[in-house]
Amino acid sequence: MDPSYTRDFLWYKDAIIYETHVKAFLDTSGDGVGDFAGLIEKLDYLEDLGITCLWLLPFFPSPLRDDGYDVVDYTGVHPSYGTLKDFRRLVDEAHRRDIAVIIELVVNHTSDQHPWFQLARSAPAGSPERDFYVWSDSEAKYKGVRIIFTDTERSNWTWDPVAGAYYWHRFFSHQPDLNFDNPRVLDAILEVLRYWLEMGIDGFRLDAIPYLVERDGTSCENLPETHEVIRRIRADVERTYPGCMLLAEANQWPADVRPYFGDGDECHMAFHFPLMPRIFMALRREDVEPIQDIMQRTPAIPESCQWGLFLRNHDELTLEMVTDMERDYMVLAYAREPGTVLNVGIRRRLAPLVDNGRHRIELLNSLLFSFPGTPIIYYGDEIGMGDDVRRPDRDGVRTPMQWSSGVNAGFSRADPAALYSRPIDDPVYGYPAVNVQAQLRDPSSLLHWMRNMIRLRKQFRVFGRGSMEFLSAGNRKVLAYVRRWEEDTILCVANLSRHPQPAELDLSEFAGATPVEMLGYTPFRVIGRDPYVLTLGGYGFYWFELRQRG
Ligand code: GLC
């Protein structure tokens, strides 16, 4: 760890996070799998894009039956990706560019190949070793608890012939859940945490955090005992590495996510899961209601906390946090192609979700960058990469980064048959058409646009820290909101319709101020007492800085 490296404790509030998998970024060893050395080589690209935090998907030793979320050793790295030394070098090189690094803490479950599970299944019933996991003689225990991977699992229990008992798992049956009623489990996890923190990382995404503790007669989600575990984790971090950020993956309704911030004594950040599908819904319905409704139902959070905002990630676009009717609508609107629905969600990347519509991609990113929270970009979405719904599980959205139109998309020099995954090669989204090299050369590319937006966003702390109020635009297709923080006031107006739309805003409270359009630095008409009238092109948006006279 570089001792000269320091960070403001609230760094995550102004961050731009970039999510990627080591395996998918760049392969320098030529074995067909991306590696740490490749990621290091591409840090200049990420710095140039403007991101300030790298979120790495799991890179630990693993049989890779759940892309690394099935961990067999929490303190190593998968040999395909390099060595611990390479990882350390990545952290140092990222820090040199002022890029923070956050990694996964897969806290709820391990692989069934993990030595803890192997020990547990043969240890005597009731022993502390056996009790590392959750066992039962019958499948009736915790009856009624929902199944998450509905396409593959029929039960949350699986029979283990070695133990002669059932073990509990909320995800795949090869991922037994750890038992947090056993104090040794938390001790072991805290050791893992300290181990990585000593290497200088800046935070953890706490994977599948709602499911840590089980109790009969409950949904086994969000239990007070689970929050107690998280408070213990936070207290430990606070004591040893106070700048470390904890990001909760709690796919729950806003009211149930809120407790993951605690009184500022649990997680620093949590993903805003319910917002994401509603942005897509509002866009398709050309109606601001789903967005306004969910934002109004989003409770206030402690001062030091922050929402994590995202449009797409490495999983399916989950539809767990919507009503049945909304789910039907989303499937009809976005998943007509056979094979697109996976579990309770839609396995698509951003560009194909919006039919590769450049205006829609820009509009959605404008919301991502201007809503209250920290934006998270999924690798490849900055160039509009596509997906392939015919591949198993979520593999179709985890294909190699498209660097160039050369062999293997410039990702690897391996024999194409040796690649961990074929790059996307269809005529619209394939690497000959969509790649970084071409977009760097093309000043009108999506990549350039993203870079500019990130730059702009970083100049205004109000986006990461300010309040948000919605205004009526006198038109249900136009979303208008004001962001305020300290001296800064920003007005955002977004047209969710494909056609031009008028907006009439009551801005009398800002009378005398000049709205300066932030992309072109153009002053608009001074605000008066009358309704402020604007016209927006199809899927157009404005960001205005409201400048008071004098
Ligand atoms: C999290 C991950 C997902 C994984 C699951 C089970 O939800 O985001 O990719 O499959 O945990 O480990």
Compute, in angstroms, the gap from residue 288 CA to the centroid of ligand 1. Answer: 31
Which residue's CA is the closest to the ligand 1 atom numbered 3?
A: 315
| Residue ranges matching CATH 3.20.20.80 in the chain | 11-108+181-458
Nearest by Cα to 19 from 350, 291, 488: 350
Query: Is the confidence at residue 1, as pLDDT, over 70?
Result: no
pLDDT band at 550 (very low <50, low <70, confident <90, very high): low
- Give me the residue label for tokens 């004594």: 265
The class (CATH top level) of 467-547 is mainly beta
- At 153 the pLDDT is 97
Q: Is the pLDDT of residue 6 over 90?
A: no
CATH of region 11-108+181-458, choose from 3.40.50.1360, 2.70.170.10, 3.20.20.80, 3.40.50.300: 3.20.20.80
Degrees to nearest 5, angle at CA 110 with 107 and 111: 155
Q: Which pLDDT score is estimated for 173?
A: 98
pLDDT digits (tens, 9 = 90+) for 345-365: 999 999 999 999 999 999 999
Angle at 404 between CA 398 and CA 409, to 5 degrees: 45
Distance 106 CA to ligand 1 centre (A): 9
Report CA(475)–ligand 1 centroid distance (Å).
39
User: Ligand 1: which residue has its CA nearest to atom 8?
Assistant: 315
Q: What is the pLDDT of residues 250-259, one digit of tens each?
A: 999 999 999 9
Rounded CA Rg of the chain: 24
Can you read off the two tokens belonging to residue 172? 């795949």
Question: For 162-274, where are the alpha helices, taking DSSP H only?
Answer: 183-198, 224-240, 254-257
Which ligand 1 atom is at minimum distance from the Cα of 70? Answer: 12
Q: Show the CA angle centred on residue 191, arms to residues 186 and 196, nearest 5°.
A: 130
The ligand 1 atom at the shortest distance from the C-alpha of residue 251 is 7
Report how far residue 187's alpha carbon sits from residue 181's, in angstroms, rounded to the nearest whole number. 11
Q: Is 426 a known active-site residue?
A: no
Domain with CATH 2.60.40.1180 in the chain: 467-547
Kindly indicate the confidence band of residue 161, based on its pLDDT and cuts at 50, 70 and 90.
Answer: very high
- Per-residue pLDDT at 128 exceeds 90: yes
Report the range of poorest mean pLDDT among 65-74, 209-218, 236-245.
236-245
pLDDT tens across 257-287, in order? 999 999 999 999 999 999 999 999 999 999 9
Question: Would you place residue 3 in the very low, low, confident or very high pLDDT band (cuts 50, 70, 90)?
Answer: low
Q: Name the residue among 244, 204, 198, 248 with its Cα closest to residue 227.
A: 248
| Tally of CA atoms within 13 A in the half-sphere of 315 that contains its CB | 19
pLDDT-derived band at 369 (thresholds 50, 70, 90) equals very high
Is the model's pTM score more than 0.85?
Answer: yes
For the stretch 387-403, pLDDT in tens is 999 999 999 999 999 99
Residue ranges lining ligand 1, Cβ < 6 Å: 66, 69, 171, 175, 207-208, 249, 314-315
Q: What's the mean per-residue pLDDT of the chain? A: 97
pLDDT at residue 549 greater than cutoff 90:
no
CATH topology for 115-168 is: Oligo-1,6-glucosidase; domain 2 (3.90.400)
Query: How close is the Cα of 153 to the center of ligand 1, in Å?
Result: 14
Per-residue pLDDT band at 294 (split at 50, 70, 90): very high
Q: Mean pLDDT across the stretch 52-64?
A: 98
Of 249, 316, 387, 388, which is the active-site residue? 249
The CA distance from 167 to 160, in Å, is 7
Please tell me the distance from the alpha carbon of residue 473 to that of residue 479, in angstroms, as a whole number: 7
Examine the pLDDT at 2 and tell me if it is beyond 80: no
**543 residue type, one letter:** W
pLDDT in tens, 423-439: 999 999 999 999 999 99
